[in-house]
Structure 1
Amino acid sequence: MSKTLNLKRLSARRAALPLAVLAVIAGGAQAQIEEVVVTAQKRTENLQETPIAISALTSNDMEKRGILDYDDIVKSMPTLSQTPYPSSDLLILYMRGQGVSDPMQVTSDGSVGLYIDGLYISRPQGALFDLAGLERVEVLRGPQGTLYGRNTTGGAVNLITAKPTGEFGFKQNLSFGSRDYFRSLTTVDLPAIGDLAAKLTVMKRNQDGYVKNAGGADFGMNDQLGGRLALRWDAAEDFTVDYSLETGTLESAPIYYQSTIDTGLYPGYITGEKPSGKTYRPMDLKPSESVFEGHGLTLTWEATDSLTVKSLTGYRELEFDNYQNYAESFTIPAYAFDGIDNRQFSQELQFIGDVGNNLEYIVGLYYFKETSDHYQNYVTDLTPVGGGIVDKDRDVTSIAKSQAIYSQVTWTPPVLDNRLELTLGARYTEDEREATRDFLVNNFPLELNASNKQSFEQFDPSFTVNFLWNDGLSTYAKVSTGYKAGGSSEGSAPGTFDQTFDPEEVTTYELGLKSEWWDRRLQVNTALFYSEFTDMQLAFTADSYDASLVQSYNAGEATVQGAELSVILMPTPDLRLQLEYAYLDPEYDEVIASTGSIFDPVINPLSPYQVGDEIKKLFVVPYSPENSVNLTADYTFWRTASMEANATVNYSYQSKVYDTTPAGPGVPNRDFYSRPSYGLVDARIGFVFDLPRGDTATVALWGRNIFDKEYRQHVIGLGGAVVPTPLGPAGFTFSAVSWAEPATYGIDLIYEY
């Protein structure tokens, strides 16, 4: 990294303590909030001095709060919203009202980018794998159209792993808990051999399912094994090579659905008004499996005192086999299998430097290629509606390429005591995508080698004005743009696979404040944003009888506005309080009835609309709670010369959300597709002992959802459609409900040397 980096910021904060200095030394030292270092803008910066909406979690935060995977990360940050896909190791992930409701489709991209050490992860399958060996997590909110690998409209989640130190270190975590929960995490830092250092992490984790099944895998079971090898070679005084290999296997079973009505067709059926701890009949359910292997190579060359050149190369393979049994929750049997093979490669070059003390820059080149194969088999009994047994086979191959050049320049004009920063960013992106599909129904080919091919190009600028009012207060104003590439619909009706959709674009205006008060015992950060979306990619049902046939269109425009607040208070060296709050107000400004959709009278003769009609009243932005809150209290309540005890309590709240887009105020009984608000409490009490040789031992008792709150984690509205069809009137009449897992309790045993 440039040796003259951020001199102006250091001079502006001469009174601040060095980075990574903790607030306290027991016995009278003044409490101070720890400074957090981030690399969100490809430079090492203090989070408080970075003029973007960003949140960060350190490894210490994650250990105390029991954060183990993406699901836990999302629940800890109100700006993010998650819902488990019917598959148990796949998330529907939204940020600031932006996401993808069907992440199983390989012919389209997500709105929230996932990264490990700056390397993009294109597919979220296996996302619930244990995130062992992290140094910190950085969550960037809003469009990432300038600096990050893939262009995304919602934001980015970047995992930063702990690098080898070159000195011997050992840490062993053992956890035991409810439903035979077991987790072992072993981390070994090896002494450097010459200029080569290595770190090895091995993780094993498993837990029984929380819905027992006498005929196969229990719903909600989880069994995973993974490892990571990190190497660091200081090849020269100014040249460093970092290589990582990670691999893992995750076996799991899906979440369990219960219908809210009992049709009387299935003796002994247990409805979903309350969660059930067992299936109403034995079900032949196989465990699903995700297997991945990833390689990362980062070369860092300190070319001069003012220029750093970096090369980031990534390769990742994923094999995903998913079995889903909907357990008659649709009132008719439904079963699905999805198999995905994915291979991705990325290459990025970065030139990071400064010109004197007043101009910093980064220039980058990016290339990405992804090849995916997705086979789906879906079996359902449509006899009650005159369709008989329907067995669908769909086989899709998708190839996506993206290349980009980007730059960001920050200028500090020699006025106002160097407290004003002007940042201009720009990115030019070219995307190509092609796909082929075979479609069979009851083994009869309705479509073979159907194909589509697309290409897009996009220019995305951004501009930020940041002003440092004093050493502890700064405000910024930002306008940024981003886009999500177009694609095609895997689930479109036979004969329509050539109908594609174009990119979705967003422009976001943001005002932010970052501040520290009371001698760095109080930190208050806030952001206000207003986003305008055009050519929104919306999926519509494309058949009057078969709701599984879906086509996506650029049919919408929307505005999403909101506010985000983060407050940290450390009144004493032993007590840390944190509040995270997010308010969202999303609204569709326009949705147009499209040709070939369920709104088209040619497809659905009972539709009250014509192609081109305004139908926004039928739609709502899904997975977007109006209010989300996270409260954390961390209190060290006992200290001796060789031991300390601390307690961490976390409360998270999410208001009502809808689990689909077509559930607007104009849809009758739309609340059958909604999830009520809920709040959860997690807690941990830990005792840390200093041992004679400088090593430590920790014993901690923990609980997740300690009050055993019963809440719905996913809901599917059934019994009707958004408009009248030959099968019935508009609206929903019942739900398929999946209840979240009950309270879990356990103990952590940790030894560290």
Structure 2
Amino acid sequence: MKAHFRRAWLASTILAASAMAAAPAWAQNAAGEGGLEEIVVTAQKREQSLQDVPIAVTAITPDSLQANRIFTVNDLSAIAPGVTVKPSPGGSSVPVFTIRGQSSFGVVPGSDKQVSIYIDGVYVSSPRGSIFELPDIQRLEVLRGPQGTLFGRNATAGAISITTRDPSGEAHIKAEGSIGNRDAYRFRVTADLPQMGPFSAFGSFVRNYRRGEVRNAAAGLIWDRSSSPFGVQRSAEYLGTVDSNSYFGSVKFEPSDTFKIVYKYDRNEDSGTPDVTGFVGYDPNFSQLPALVGNILKPLYASQNLYARADGKRPDVATNGFAVPRTQTVQGHSATATWQASDSLTVKNIFAYRKSQVLGPTPIDGISSLTFTQPALVPYATLVAFSSIGTPGIPNAAAAQAAIPAFAAQLAPLVGQRFILVAAQSASVSKQWSDELQVNFTSGNLNATVGALWFHSKDVAGGPQGLQNTLSFPTFVPQNGKIPLGNEGVYNNEATSIAAYAQLEYKFTPQFEVVLGARITRDKKSSTFTYNTRGPTGVVSPNTVITPPDFKKTKPNFLVGLNWTPNDDTLIYGKFSNSFVSGGSTGGIPYEPETAKSWELGIKADFLDNKLRTNLAVFHVDYNHFQQSQSTSATASAALALPILTQLYGATIAGEMLPKLSVFVGDQGKVRARGFELEVTAAPTRGVTMGGSLSYTDISFPFVEPGVLAANGGRLDVTARPAWTGSVYGSYETQPLFGETTLSLRADAFYQGGMSFAGNPAIQIFDWNRGAEKVDGYWTINGRVALRRLALGPVDAELALWGKNLTNRRDMTTALFTPFATSASYVPARTYGVDLSIEF
């Protein structure tokens, strides 16, 4: 691996040197039509040309958004070098980003994530609040590497910045409609009103539906959560269904050329179904489980159709009886006031409020529930007897053995009920308030950006009211679907963050510029964890409230950089920066702030009269106290959490708390990432644009916390992080075929390298789940063909054919190893359809 990395590093260095040496000659020899347009980004809190920004940033163009049908952040995988995105296992489809060796979840209540998402400059704190149809986008930027100075905490791996458009002030209507396979339809209407005095406004509505790609063999099961606001639901007929309504509106008040206030509102209502959790397989001997447990599961698994796919490919049918349509509402308000005090001074203030509410029940084990059968009754009665009276090897074991028939008679009514192994029904309500003041000053050789931020959030998460968060072995649910009360675990979290920052860019000469940045952040977090216990007879104990000490921390960030522009078309930069993810605790299990230290060298160069653009970044990042999301349903994670809880609260409370926690944050130790990211774009002649990207990341664990290593059997491999990613695309637009109508063709191909899913194959991989050990590298291909600027009477129209994942890749994106079985998530199935848009 080290030799491989050295070769990749050497290749990228030679490429950079060649580009610098060749720049003058290429520019002199440039001729012909074509050329790349300037791309404007706000990666440094002000508008700049992409090629002038000393940051590894990918700006996703409207054509790319349209051709690849990018509607949510989960659609951004491989669109930028080294960036992969996938929905986390679970009904809420929280995005999991991988950037520069960092895998960002943020699914643990009260925790933060390593990749920040910003909408119009507003940080979206809750990961469950970041999944919705993207509104009217003006710019979408993917910033790679630590962004601690300007974007603040929780951006150790990078940031996603989405900028929506302001009202145009001109009367305009655009309507788009699409139909596709699997009963898909999507329509969007946007209307701009004419300016009335200092006011202008627009609004849009999007309706999006597509039936899921995997049939649910356990459709129609009733799940009764009437103790909570979610009521009674039925398991979905298809898994992976998209079903959402999105609203967006904006009003601009601009009384003068120097001052404006823009208010924006977005809302998304989502009742789609969870993606399939496929069943890879189970150990027929249950050798990883106690014999008393294995004896129960053997007859249950053997008596029912599980639709297992041991090869790790996406199935056509699955038994996900616990998967019901999610209930998800996300909304946000923001007001941005901008004052152009002078030609050199701009003052901006962004005030915002956001709220999200989510319930997303989903299986974890790939099955979610089995029917409890007669052959399992005596083995279960044996487990209950020995748990209640005695265990083998102690004096009262004989009494337990003798009591088995009586217990079997008592438990006989359970036959025919649903028997749940591992299933999640997490619910959350998140609210956040923020206000940020920014000042930009430009004069002569100096650019200065200074600001201050106040942020406050409240989050309530856990099982639906009165119900258990993660249902685990052994949970019985009667056939009427009434989920039993109790075993509830609820997190209440509050966080307040105050920060001040400054970044100065000073040109010593026209070619050399120094960049200095600093930020100071004060975080305070408080939390409680409330749980109860349901006894064997169904009696629920009174609530127990755990109140850990508040987390308080003041952390600085720094950035030092040097920019060199040897000519107007070339920028070479080098910088050191650091960043952090805030610390905290989960049910009292503490975790330190995660820190990142990054060294980066980059070159951005345009050649041949802007017909060729090459951007290269070489980086080295060290992460310390890496925050790894853990699930107590996993044996290794439970082994890690139990000693900590025991030390904090004693063995009795620790045993009660562990299954109710469901998830927590563990300190994994150190992660090191080194590699390069290359983007190339060319417009050799009129109507033709092509390009691609290539990235390589060497990831290692220089130090693993001993507790984590011991819990994983003494070995921890790198998982779910591909070393290589790449992309190629090409587009062509003809001269007018008739009138002003042109034909546009575009194809995109994205490559994700192979990766492993098993942290310790020796204890996770066997003959029956060999297909879940790793996934080989694969390409996904998207395409679009469109007739543009069709004149239909008084309106302009566009008609297009499109396809996504045209080769219908079925590869895994995640594998889950539980003590009971192995399950997986997958690449979304092929979609295709027809678009028609009109505007006037």
TM superposition score normalised by structure 2: 0.77
Query: Which residue in 2 is equivalent to 1:421?
Result: 513
Partners in 2 of 1:209 and 1:654 — Cα distance? 24
Per-residue deviation, residues 263-314 of structure 1 (Å, max 9, x unmatched)? 5434222112343323348x36421011122000111111122111110111
Structure 1 residue 694 displacement after superposition: 7.2
CA contact under 8 A between 2:113 and 2:154: conserved in structure 1? Answer: no
Query: Which residue in 2 is equivalent to 1:536?
Result: 626
Query: Which residue in 1 is equivalent to 2:754?
Result: 656
Partners in 2 of 1:391 and 1:76 — Cα distance? 44
Please list, as runs of the form range in 1=range in 2, the aligned pairs for 1:229-378 lying within 5 A after superposition: 229-261=249-281, 263=284, 264-273=301-310, 274-280=313-319, 283=321, 285-326=323-364, 327-328=366-367, 333-354=421-442, 356-376=443-463, 377-378=469-470
Query: Which residue in 1 is equivalent to 2:243?
Result: 223
Partners in 1 of 2:584 and 2:152 — Cα distance? 18
Partners in 2 of 1:378 and 1:692 — Cα distance? 55
Partners in 1 of 2:515 and 2:499 — Cα distance? 20
Distance 1:272 1:445, change over 3 A: farther
Distance 1:297 1:364, change over 3 A: same
Structure 1 residue identity aligned to 2:729? T
Partners in 2 of 1:396 and 1:383 — Cα distance? 22
Query: Which residue in 1 is equivalent to 2:575?
Result: 478
Structure 1 residue 542 displacement after superposition: 3.2
Please list, as runs of the form range in 1=range in 2, the aligned pairs for 1:113-512 lying within 5 A after superposition: 113-213=116-216, 214-215=219-220, 216-217=235-236, 218-261=238-281, 263=284, 264-273=301-310, 274-280=313-319, 283=321, 285-326=323-364, 327-328=366-367, 333-354=421-442, 356-376=443-463, 377-382=469-474, 392-413=487-508, 415=509, 418-442=510-534, 443-444=540-541, 447-489=544-586, 497-512=587-602
Distance 1:142 1:181, change over 3 A: same
Structure 2 residue identity aligned to 1:419? Q
Partners in 2 of 1:40 and 1:279 — Cα distance? 43
More deviation in 266-275 or 323-332? Answer: 323-332
Partners in 2 of 1:665 and 1:473 — Cα distance? 50
Is 1:77 the equivalent of 2:80?
A: yes
Bigger relative CO (Cα 8 Å, ≥ 6 apart):
2
More strand by share: 1
Distance 1:131 1:714, change over 3 A: same
Instruction: Mark the runs of 5 or more structure 1 residues left unpaired by the alignment.
Output: 1-27, 490-496, 601-606, 609-614, 721-733
Please list, as runs of the form range in 1=range in 2, the aligned pairs for 1:604-683 lying within 5 A after superposition: 618-637=715-734, 639-640=736-737, 641-659=739-757, 662-663=759-760, 672-683=772-783
Is 1:49 the equivalent of 2:49?
A: no
Structure 1 residue identity aligned to 2:440? I
Partners in 2 of 1:659 and 1:371 — Cα distance? 34
Partners in 2 of 1:475 and 1:236 — Cα distance? 39
CA contact under 8 A between 2:551 and 2:585: conserved in structure 1? Answer: no
Partners in 2 of 1:285 and 1:666 — Cα distance? 29
Distance 1:630 1:665, change over 3 A: farther
Structure 2 residue identity aligned to 1:429? T
Structure 1 residue 550 displacement after superposition: 5.7
Partners in 1 of 2:209 and 2:57 — Cα distance? 32
Structure 2 residue identity aligned to 1:543? A
Q: SS of the residue aligned with 2:722? A: coil
CA contact under 8 A between 1:151 and 1:483: conserved in structure 2? Answer: yes
Partners in 1 of 2:722 and 2:369 — Cα distance? 26
Superposition RMSD in Å: 2.6
More deviation in 184-193 or 441-450? Answer: 441-450
Partners in 2 of 1:249 and 1:591 — Cα distance? 41
Query: Which residue in 2 is equivalent to 1:731?
Result: none
CA contact under 8 A between 1:36 and 1:46: conserved in structure 2? Answer: yes
Query: Which residue in 2 is equivalent to 1:21?
Result: none
Q: SS of the residue aligned with 2:336? A: strand
Partners in 2 of 1:580 and 1:160 — Cα distance? 24
CA contact under 8 A between 2:108 and 2:663: conserved in structure 1? Answer: no
More deviation in 476-485 or 57-66? Answer: 57-66
Distance 1:446 1:345, change over 3 A: closer
Query: Which residue in 2 is equivalent to 1:715?
Result: 815
CA contact under 8 A between 1:650 and 1:683: conserved in structure 2? Answer: yes
CA contact under 8 A between 2:76 and 2:85: conserved in structure 1? Answer: no
More helix by share: 2
CA contact under 8 A between 1:330 and 1:718: conserved in structure 2? Answer: no
Instruction: Mark the runs of 5 or more structure 2 residues left unpaired by the alignment.
Output: 1-30, 221-234, 285-300, 371-419, 464-468, 477-483, 535-539, 631-635, 643-657
Q: SS of the residue aligned with 1:212? A: strand
Structure 1 residue 693 displacement after superposition: 6.9
Distance 1:656 1:334, change over 3 A: same
CA contact under 8 A between 1:77 and 1:580: conserved in structure 2? Answer: yes
Query: Which residue in 2 is equivalent to 1:92?
Result: 96
Partners in 2 of 1:270 and 1:672 — Cα distance? 15
CA contact under 8 A between 1:380 and 1:390: conserved in structure 2? Answer: no
Structure 1 residue 598 displacement after superposition: 8.4
Structure 1 residue 659 displacement after superposition: 4.4
Structure 1 residue 149 displacement after superposition: 4.6
Partners in 2 of 1:504 and 1:39 — Cα distance? 26
Partners in 1 of 2:494 and 2:563 — Cα distance? 40
Q: 2:669 aligns with which of 533, 536, 556?
A: 556
Is 1:599 the equivalent of 2:710?
A: yes
Structure 1 residue identity aligned to 2:744? N
Q: SS of the residue aligned with 1:61? A: helix
Structure 2 residue identity aligned to 1:644? T
Partners in 1 of 2:748 and 2:825 — Cα distance? 24
Q: SS of the residue aligned with 2:247? A: strand
Q: SS of the residue aligned with 2:710? A: coil
Per-residue deviation, residues 102-143 of structure 1 (Å, max 9, x unmatched)? x33122100000010110101121534221310120111111
Distance 1:117 1:622, change over 3 A: farther
Structure 2 residue identity aligned to 1:364? G
Q: SS of the residue aligned with 1:708? A: coil
CA contact under 8 A between 2:67 and 2:802: conserved in structure 1? Answer: no
Q: SS of the residue aligned with 1:541? A: helix
Per-residue deviation, residues 83-116 of structure 1 (Å, max 9, x unmatched)? 2212243222222122334x33122100000010
Structure 1 residue 33 displacement after superposition: 0.7
Larger radius of gyration: 2
Partners in 2 of 1:665 and 1:590 — Cα distance? 20
Distance 1:280 1:666, change over 3 A: closer
Per-residue deviation, residues 405-431 of structure 1 (Å, max 9, x unmatched)? 100001011x3xx11111100001110
CA contact under 8 A between 1:329 and 1:736: conserved in structure 2? Answer: no
Distance 1:254 1:330, change over 3 A: same
More deviation in 126-135 or 516-525? Answer: 126-135
Partners in 2 of 1:739 and 1:475 — Cα distance? 40
CA contact under 8 A between 1:501 and 1:537: conserved in structure 2? Answer: yes
Partners in 2 of 1:286 and 1:464 — Cα distance? 51
Q: SS of the residue aligned with 1:191? A: coil
Distance 1:434 1:743, change over 3 A: same
